[in-house]
Amino acid sequence: MANKQYHKVKVKGHSGVKGNEKADRVAKNDTKKVTCIKIKDSQQKDLIYDIYWDGKRVDRHIRKFIDNLCESTLDAAWSFNRTHRSVFSDTTDTIEEKVTWTLFKKNTGSNCTTSMINDRFIKHLKLLNYLLPTLEIMKERRYDLYGDVKCRLCLEENEDDDHMIYCKQLSDKWITIANNTVCKCNQTIKNFLSQEKHIQLSQEDIQQLLTWNRNFFAHTIDVNLNLPIPHIHLMIRSFFPKEKYRELKIIVKTKRIALTIAALFLEVFVNEFYNIIWQPRCKLIAEWEHTKGIKKQDLRKKPLAHQRIVYKRILTLQTEDGIYDLEKRKILKHNEQWSIALEKARQYINQFIREGNRRVVEAYTEIL
């Protein structure tokens, strides 16, 4: 065997020497950089891998699992908004947040080309975040001007977002809004189907879709009969009922069309609310402000610190266990609510994994 001689040569790092970068990575065990493993076609059939999440093996379709994980995280993110704490804890299973996002995308970004579209977006944004300038909001801003003024329609109760729903003087107007929404959406849906030539729905599906629209506000057993019309407590917040969205998706069979029609329906409803209830209400408030001598420039002025009167429209009860509202629901802090939301997301994903494992076992048992 011939003698071989080896010479050690020091190579300067990052000097462009071929293979030096790879040698450095192996030597330093740099796991931050992506390592590409090339697999031949003949080896793919023998490739076995497992996906784990939170220490549990995932037997479901990976893409479906990731989609559900993202949806659960989005649900958790909703609760981080302080205005949606009660909505998230009480009705997170009854709202379809994708419709709200679709409606926002329709009126923002490159789609926001006119002031009218921008005003439409502001309407939805105010409804979503409880920012309509009701009398209770105005009391918080300038109690020295508004005092203990009551709703200008019933003259009995404080006017906030919830009172706009339950005010007895508005019950007939809510029914008018429901009828107008159904009537206008009936024609809007027909126009949408005629314009979108690629949408292929049978005559039976079209009839089911129109029936779904016609019966949208029909009372059911599960609906709160105290409401003037069903689902109003969600739609007035720019939320869409999840049960109605599921019915719609079954009819049209595609997610994109279902989101488009649901967003159109929600937009028509909000516009009818502004035209029939909110604008006439604003005229009444303007007349009352005129009689009290309240001008716009007065609202722009900030009162001095010692003259400012603090008004809390949401009454709370302080106990040893924490702070509760008048309905005896605990008012959670941001970190507490966020922890609960993430735990709900974790439980949902774990249930999703367990169902997948159970189905795999059942299928395996049937084969045996």
Number of neighbours of residue 328 by Cβ within 10 angstroms: 7
**In terms of pLDDT, which residue wins out, 14 or 86?**
14
SS3 197: coil
In this prediction, residue 286 carries a pLDDT of: 93
Residue 135's identity, in one-letter code, is L
In this prediction, residue 147 carries a pLDDT of: 87
> CA nearest 316: which of 326, 308, 306?
326
In this prediction, residue 270 carries a pLDDT of: 93
In this prediction, residue 367 carries a pLDDT of: 40
DSSP state of 95: B
Question: How far is 38 from 235, CA to CA, in rounded Å?
Answer: 52
Contact 338, 73 (CB under 8 A): no
Confidence of residue 362 (pLDDT cuts 50, 70, 90): very low
* Interval 23-44: pLDDT, tens: 666 655 544 555 555 655 555 5
Spell out the residues 6+ positions from residue 33 whose beta carbon is closer than 8 angstroms to its own.
25
Contact 210, 193 (CB under 8 A): no
pLDDT tops 50 at residue 354? yes
* Interval 215-245: pLDDT, tens: 998 865 444 557 788 888 888 888 899 899 9
- What is the full DSSP assignment across 18-30? TTHHHHHHHHHT-
CA 135 to chain CA centroid, nearest Å: 27
**103, 216, 270 from 266: Cα distances, Å:** 8, 12, 6
- Cα–Cα–Cα angle for 87, 179, 266, rounded to 5 degrees: 40
Helix ranges restricted to H, the chain: 20-28, 41-44, 62-80, 85-91, 97-106, 115-128, 135-141, 143-146, 161-166, 171-195, 203-214, 232-235, 242-252, 255-273, 279-292, 296-300, 334-367
Confidence of residue 248 (pLDDT cuts 50, 70, 90): very high
Q: What radius of gyration do the chain's Cα atoms show?
A: 29
Q: Where are the domains of the chain?
A: 81-313
The pTM of the full predicted model, rounded to 2 decimals, is: 0.67
